[in-house]
Structure 1
Amino acid sequence: MNLPLSEALKKHSRQTHDSVDMLVLSMEPFASIENYSKFLQAQNAFHEVLKPIYENPSLNLKIKGLNSLSRLEQVAMDMQDLHVKTMLVDEAIPSPSEFESIGWLYCSEGSNLGAAILYKEAQKIELTSNHGAKHLSAHKDGRMVHWRKFKEQLDGLELTLTQRQQALKGAEDAFAFFKRVIRQVNYAEETV
């Protein structure tokens, strides 16, 4: 029997997801405002790719409330709070297909669950949901409740085997893109 889509995405992308976590931790984003600023630049680049996905009319018919979930605006406000400039990405900006986009959404919404730990760390450098760490704030329903509801919607999607494979590829692509962006912000700082 096929795993529910959310479980298949988790299993398929576990190794890449873990490597993203390790890479983010290695940059010590909460050791200083300077490090956190680089993390924000990477988040901005990632959420720029996600914005049209959250606004996709076809996906909004399939996933209730999708267009209200983008965190790009919150990232932009955090950058403004801390006077962080947008980073120019060195590579072509991904443009995932509709079904690859499902994998990107899985990564983005799942990251909000892990953001609970990041938000606590952000408070140690005096960042809050009112200043500098808006994009790490919990969903109004609460992180776990929102994540369960989101996974239920993913699992309720009727996908062909090909579409499902595209969603799995999308999750891998999303994590891989975020890793490249994290490396770029760190490298750019080191070469200035």
Structure 2
Amino acid sequence: MDLSPRRLGLKTSTAEAHHALDTMIGSFDTPASYARYLDGMARFRLPVEAWLATQPLPPGFGDWQPGLYGEDLLADLQDLDIPLPTDLPPLELPDGDGLIGLLYVLEGSALGARLLAKRAEAIGFTEQRGARHLFAQARNFSSWRAFSARMENVCVYDERAASTWADTAFDYARNAFESAMNAHRLHRRLVQLRP
């Protein structure tokens, strides 16, 4: 499949950061590994979505709005009795007009959501319990297509800024997942130390 020029540019420039995140997330195949994934996803998406809700979209996006899954994530956390993370890292975005790069990362996650939803379902989590956010993303694939088309047609596009913002989003996600892993390791150690 031929990719559009801007999408190809972002895919190429962020390949290393994207790969590093995928490697860190790995493959969840148990309820415990899924809980770590869910915690990391909440630490990433909740702050980003809260910030995004305060921002105007670039001219040329019309009535399109990004897919927001924070409410589904909160319900999934509640289903698994995972406390809402309180030690969220601050979201620090670079200078420049690169919002399209951040949106590219968020909307592009729908591409992998189909596979992740199947993995979650295989270990007992569904669109009614524990994996709402994944199934909502997987069903919203049309948003990715609409975003991709608008991204190509925006008149003012700063390729360098978009790439920097996309890399920053991948790095922020990686830090969020690393923070979740550390929190789960600490919890395990504390449980083991209890008399």
- TM-score, structure 2 normalization: 0.82
RMSD: 2.4
Residue 7 of structure 1 corresponds to 8
* Residues 75 and 147 of structure 1: CA distance in aligned 2, closer, same or farther (over 3 Å): same
Amino acid at match of 2:149: E
Residue 172 of structure 1 corresponds to 167
> Per-residue CA shift, 1:98-152, capped at 9, x if unaligned?
7332211111111111111100000011111111111111558652x43222201
More helix by share: 1
* Residues 66 and 81 of structure 1: CA distance in aligned 2, closer, same or farther (over 3 Å): farther
* Residues 87 and 138 of structure 1: CA distance in aligned 2, closer, same or farther (over 3 Å): closer
* Residues 156 and 89 of structure 1: CA distance in aligned 2, closer, same or farther (over 3 Å): farther
Shift of 1:66: 4.4
* Residues 105 and 61 of structure 1: CA distance in aligned 2, closer, same or farther (over 3 Å): same
Instruction: State the percentage of identical aligned residues.
Output: 23
Higher Cα radius of gyration: 2
Question: What is the SS of the residue equivalent to 2:97?
Answer: helix
Shift of 1:57: 5.1
What is the aligned residue count?
Answer: 184
Check whether the contact 1:41–1:185 (CA below 8 A) recurs between aligned residues: yes
Residue 119 of structure 1 corresponds to 117
> Per-residue CA shift, 1:59-86, capped at 9, x if unaligned?
0754245446211111111112222112
Check whether the contact 2:104–2:166 (CA below 8 A) recurs between aligned residues: yes
* Residues 127 and 110 of structure 1: CA distance in aligned 2, closer, same or farther (over 3 Å): same
2:148 equivalent to 1:151: yes
Residue 31 of structure 1 corresponds to 30
Check whether the contact 2:17–2:167 (CA below 8 A) recurs between aligned residues: yes
Amino acid at match of 2:28: P
Check whether the contact 2:101–2:166 (CA below 8 A) recurs between aligned residues: yes
Residues in 1 aligned to 2:167 and 2:62: alpha-carbon distance in whole angstroms = 24
Residue 185 of structure 2 corresponds to 190
Residue 58 of structure 1 corresponds to 56
Amino acid at match of 1:170: W
Question: What is the SS of the residue equivalent to 2:56?
Answer: helix
Residues in 2 aligned to 1:63 and 1:42: alpha-carbon distance in whole angstroms = 29
Residue 132 of structure 1 corresponds to 130
> Per-residue CA shift, 1:132-188, capped at 9, x if unaligned?
111111558652x4322220111111225xx32111101000101111111111122
Residues in 2 aligned to 1:96 and 1:89: alpha-carbon distance in whole angstroms = 22
Q: Give matches, 1:62-101, under 5 Å.
A: 62-67=60-65, 69-89=67-87, 91-95=89-93, 99-101=97-99
* Residues 180 and 63 of structure 1: CA distance in aligned 2, closer, same or farther (over 3 Å): same
Structure 2, unmatched stretches of 5+, are 188-195
* Residues 142 and 81 of structure 1: CA distance in aligned 2, closer, same or farther (over 3 Å): same
Amino acid at match of 1:5: R
